[in-house]
C-alpha cells in the first residue's frame, strides 16, 4: 500500500487527505501546530489517515505533498525527503508570503524554489491551480465529456507520469507543462490559473501565458 505524506493540513492538505484516502492510499498528515490539533480532520478522513509531525510525515510517505504557505517552505524537512517525489501545490501571494525578489523579478518559479530547498528530491507541480473546494467535487471518470484538466510540471518524466496517474484517480485529465523552469505558465495571474478548463483549453491557456 502506498503511503502519502502531506505536509500542510489546510484547505488543500485536508482535501487531498480525503481524496487520497478515498482512492486507497494511506495518509500521514502534518501541520505546524502538532498532531494533536489534527484529531478532528483525522476522524473525518477515517482509518486510512493518521496525524504526525512534518518530519514524521516526510519519513512515512512513499510520496509526499508539500502544501504550506510559500513563506514556510524553508521549514520543510529536507533529509527525510531525499530520493522521494514531492508534489508541490504552492503558490506565491506576496500579500501573505512577503515579497520574494527572485519571483518578483521572474528569475525563478515557486517549484524551482522548492526544488532548490529539496535538492535530493524530485519536485513535481500538482493541484496548484484548482480551488481546494473543487478537488473533491469536480472530478469525473476518464473519457467524460469536457473533463476538467490540471497541469503538472517536473524535470522528471517519471514524476509527471505519477501525477498523471494521481490526477486520473481524482478524476482529472493532465497537461504537462514541461520542466520546472516552465511552471510559471501555471502560476498565479496566468490564464490557466484556477479556471475550469478541459485539456484542450488548458493547453491553449498555457500557450497564451506571458511573463
| Region near ligand NAP per CB under 6 A, out of 28-36, 117-125, 139-147, 172-180 | 28-36
List the grid coordinates of 195. 479556471
The C-alpha atoms of residue 113 and residue 180 are separated, in whole angstroms, by: 10
The C-alpha atoms of residue 132 and residue 24 are separated, in whole angstroms, by: 20
Least distance (Å) from ligand NAP to the CB of residue 195?
A: 12
Sign of CA dihedral 27, 31, 36, 38: negative
Which CB, 134 or 155, lies closer to ligand NAP?
134
Least distance (Å) from ligand NAP to the CB of residue 143?
A: 26
Which CB, 145 or 150, lies closer to ligand NAP?
150
Going by C-alpha positions, the residue among 100, 118, 209, 102 that lies closest to residue 155 is 118
Least distance (Å) from ligand NAP to the CB of residue 182?
A: 18
Which CB, 75 or 102, lies closer to ligand NAP?
75
Provide Rg for the chain, Cα atoms: 16
Least distance (Å) from ligand NAP to the CB of residue 32?
A: 4
Which CB, 89 or 121, lies closer to ligand NAP?
89
| Region near ligand NAP per CB under 6 A, out of 44-52, 127-135, 138-146, 198-206 | 127-135
> Binding to ligand NAP (CB under 6 A): which residues in 65-104?
67-70, 72, 75, 89-91
Among 8, 35, 61, 171, the residue binding ligand NAP under the rule CB under 6 A is: 8
List the grid coordinates of 64. 509526499
| Region near ligand NAP per CB under 6 A, out of 128-136, 154-162, 169-177, 200-208 | 128-136
Contact call for residues 86 and 68 (beta carbons, < 8 A): no
Which CB, 145 or 189, lies closer to ligand NAP?
189
SS3 25: coil
Going by C-alpha positions, the residue among 57, 91, 85, 67 that lies closest to residue 9 is 67
Contact call for residues 135 and 87 (beta carbons, < 8 A): no
Amino acid at each position: 500500500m502506498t503511503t502519502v505524506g502531506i505536509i500542510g493540513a489546510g484547505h488543500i492538505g485536508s482535501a487531498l487527505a480525503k481524496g487520497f484516502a478515498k482512492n486507497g492510499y494511506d495518509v500521514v498528515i502534518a501541520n505546524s501546530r502538532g498532531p494533536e490539533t489534527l484529531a478532528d480532520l483525522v476522524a473525518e478522513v477515517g482509518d486510512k489517515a493518521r496525524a504526525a509531525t512534518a518530519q514524521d510525515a516526510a519519513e512515512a510517505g512513499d510520496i509526499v505533498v508539500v502544501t504550506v504557505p510559500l513563506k514556510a517552505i524553508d521549514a520543510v524537512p529536507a533529509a527525510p525527503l531525499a530520493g522521494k517525489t514531492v508534489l508541490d501545490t504552492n503558490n506565491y501571494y506576496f500579500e501573505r508570503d512577503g515579497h520574494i525578489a527572485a519571483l518578483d523579478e521572474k528569475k525563478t518559479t515557486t517549484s524551482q524554489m522548492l526544488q532548490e530547498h529539496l535538492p535530493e528530491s524530485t519536485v513535481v507541480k500538482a493541484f496548484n491551480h484548482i480551488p481546494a473546494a473543487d478537488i473533491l467535487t469536480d472530478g469525473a471518470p476518464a473519457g467524460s465529456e469536457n473533463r476538467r484538466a490540471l497541469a503538472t510540471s517536473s524535470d522528471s518524466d517519471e514524476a509527471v507520469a505519477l501525477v498523471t496517474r494521481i490526477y486520473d484517480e481524482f478524476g482529472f485529465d493532465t497537461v504537462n507543462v514541461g520542466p520546472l523552469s516552465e511552471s510559471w505558465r501555471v502560476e498565479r495571474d496566468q490564464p490557466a490559473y484556477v479556471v475550469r478548463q478541459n485539456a484542450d483549453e488548458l493547453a491553449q491557456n498555457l500557450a497564451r501565458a506571458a511573463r
